[in-house]
Structure 1
């Protein structure tokens, strides 16, 4: 019996930067999949299906973000202007909007899940759903300023979900540091762009 080379033995090694990029893509995909699965599992009846396209991320000024929000059909949430951070705006299928806070020399579209992000999702009955999820095992829930509720999973504490009475919007506050995510979500700084 002839010996065969080990699988992949004739492949070129992947450069370190390529491995990092691949890892970042996988992490981002897992985060986004987590949000999609969480929404699907909860039995969400999402929004009206408006905004069926995705736009490439783009850097915006505070004024440009305000203009975008004013032209939007529903509120867009953010954490206000944070000194030393640049704003990145992304719209996704279904009308979801993401405001990311880039720091340092990060480029627009950087795929690392390394930045504070506020996501706004159309979500029928968002407040009731956050109440329900907050009663489940493995979750923490706190009252949020403005009459809202904040909840997060102990298994994924970097994402805190906010909802407010009478609103069909679910707001996600993500930060790679779970303590920062909770602090920001409960600070009263997260609100509609005005």
Structure 2
């Protein structure tokens, strides 16, 4: 093999290992009732999980870029009503995010600024694991809407990072399209003030 051929092969190998370009699109999930901008074509996920004998349905859309080092998307977990009736929203959101934290080694939560999202109870965290320059970072937002928990996730591994503007676009694009719960108001009783009879005209 001559040096020119070797150079061409080396170039092809280098190109094949480069990160795929971001190709942003707005994804609307009518079943999950949300919208989000993603940097690549997502894959649908659908599975069930078990919680104390109760079945939890999990659906979502996740995508990968940079050879899988960066992934992002949204999952929607639907809990049985009997599971949620005695569970406070903040307790549930902390339990969900704590379970995610437990999957990381030596996790450190660096931010926890959010307690509400679009009027719904929420928790947003940035968790890191490992040391630079190969540090993993996971940003996630958990939102409780009725018997659902929405999880917006951005996982950046091995020191790879989404560009700041792209990161901001993903996080800020998330929108829950489910109807907000309405507050029942009692109808106002009609005015019971007696009215005076009309006076007869005098000749």
Structure (1 or 2) with the greater strand fraction:
2
**TM-score interval, normalised by the smaller of the two chains:** 0.3 to 0.5
Bigger Rg, which one: 2
Structure (1 or 2) with the greater helix fraction:
1
Q: Whose relative contact order is higher, 1 or 2, with alpha carbons under 8 Å and at least 6 apart?
A: 1
Query: With structure 1 as the length reference, what TM-score do the two structures score?
Result: 0.41
